[in-house]
Amino acid sequence: MEISQYLVIASCAAVLIGMSKGGLPLVGMMSVPLLSLVMSPLKAVVLLLPLYIISDVVGVWLYRRNFSLINLKILVPASMLGILIGWFTASMISDLTIKLIIGLVGVSFCLQTWFKRGQVDSALPASVPKGAFWGAVSGFTSFIAHAGGPPFQVFILPQKLPKAEFAGTATILFAIINVAKIGPYQNLSPYSLDDLRDALVLVPFAFLGTFLGAYLTKRIADAWFFKLVQAGLFLVSLKLIWDAIRG
């Protein structure tokens, strides 16, 4: 792999992470699938974790007064269980299997979003059994691919929370999840000086993405922007699934 190719793709992944913290949460899902095109998926999730944590600091401060406490009480313990499951099974899962899982998560999320469009349902209350299940799934997929968003949204969207409360709950939950992943990641793939240097080089791109995300949130209609994002995620996910099957 050429260094220039790696830098371009890694920089794009960092920008996507920043954009997800700047008000466009779905965009962050594309970071690991994108980086997995040029490196091991496990290496990709380990490399990107510091960027998520640095971006989380800003997000938690912005939404420190807007969150659903009842949902956090359900989801945080459940997500810790999901992280433990991911930690214990990571060494048993091959790179091709992880690529397949990441691809399937992306495709299933897009299909669910597209096929449910136009349906109008009444708001549902927070359910402990459903929250425990989807919280654990969210912790697991976040651990293996930083892709905890889709399971979280499957559980939280039917509640029709106010926009700020929804964003704050997601931001705080995944900030907690990301901090909890530091120890397991260090155990599975210890950070080297080169890893930390690479992450440090990408920090400015993450900050750039944060401002870009905030700008696009205000300037571009959500419907059109997310159509493009979902199309990109769908194509990248299909590529990962194809690579896994072919491999």
Q: What is the pLDDT of residues 37-74, one digit of tens each?
A: 888 877 888 888 999 898 888 878 878 888 999 999 99
Residue 111 half-sphere exposure toward CB, CA atoms < 13 A = 8
Quick one: pLDDT band at residue 30, thresholds 50, 70, 90?
Answer: confident
- Report the distance separating Cα 244 and Cα 100, nearest Å: 6
Report whether pLDDT(156) > 60: yes
Report whether pLDDT(1) > 60: no
SS3 at position 133: helix
Q: How far apart are the first and last CA of the chain?
A: 18
- Report the distance separating Cα 50 and Cα 149, nearest Å: 18
Question: Mean pLDDT, to the nearest integer, of 182-200?
Answer: 84
Q: What angle do CA 169, 173, 179 make, to 5 degrees?
A: 150
DSSP 183-219: HHHHHHSPPPHHHHHHHHHHHHHHHHHHHHHHHHHHH
pLDDT of residue 81: 98
Q: What is the pTM of this model?
A: 0.79
SS3 at position 177: helix
Q: What angle do CA 196, 202, 206 make, to 5 degrees?
A: 125
pLDDT of residue 109: 78
pLDDT of residue 127: 93
- Report the distance separating Cα 202 and Cα 207, nearest Å: 9
